[in-house]
Amino acid sequence: MATTQIPVTTLANGGFSAPAQASSYYPPDDQYNHVHLGVPTQNNGVPAQPGNVYVTFISIKQNDATYAQLTKSAVTGLFNPDIGKPWAAGYLAAVQALGVLRS
């Protein structure tokens, strides 16, 4: 399955938290409402390029519960932005800026 890599600086520039324990969040200071990215430094034993992390999953949390999980293409490694319901304000734009969504 293809998996997309992005620079850690892209996360920082987009307002996401610094990767810690293979996770990054937007906004970084709201534990109950946020976008959660899985961002390990290796995937299936293959290290990411220096300064990069893989994006293995994207989920959205609202009111301390999972609101949506984006599906990933096995071929391209890009995520489908159609979650079947409205995105919380600012979340879609933040994820779009990472370059991990299919168009």
Question: Is residue 48 a part of any domain in this protein?
Answer: yes
Burial (CB count <10 Å: 0-12, 13-18, 19+), residue 86: exposed
Separation of alpha carbons 27 and 91, rounded Å: 9
Domain that holds residue 8: 4-96
User: What's the total number of domains in the chain?
Assistant: 1
SS3 1: coil
**What are the beta bridge partners of residue 40?**
none
How confident is the model over 33-74, as pLDDT tens digits?
Answer: 999 999 999 999 999 999 999 999 999 999 999 999 999 999
Question: Is residue 103 a part of any domain in this protein?
Answer: no
Question: Is residue 101 a part of any domain in this protein?
Answer: no
Question: Is residue 92 a part of any domain in this protein?
Answer: yes
Question: Is residue 45 a part of any domain in this protein?
Answer: yes
Instruction: Identify whether 50 is preceded by a cis peptide bond (ω within 30 of 0).
Output: no
Question: Is residue 64 a part of any domain in this protein?
Answer: yes
Query: What predicted TM-score, i.e. pTM, was given to this entire model?
Result: 0.94
Separation of alpha carbons 52 and 68, rounded Å: 25
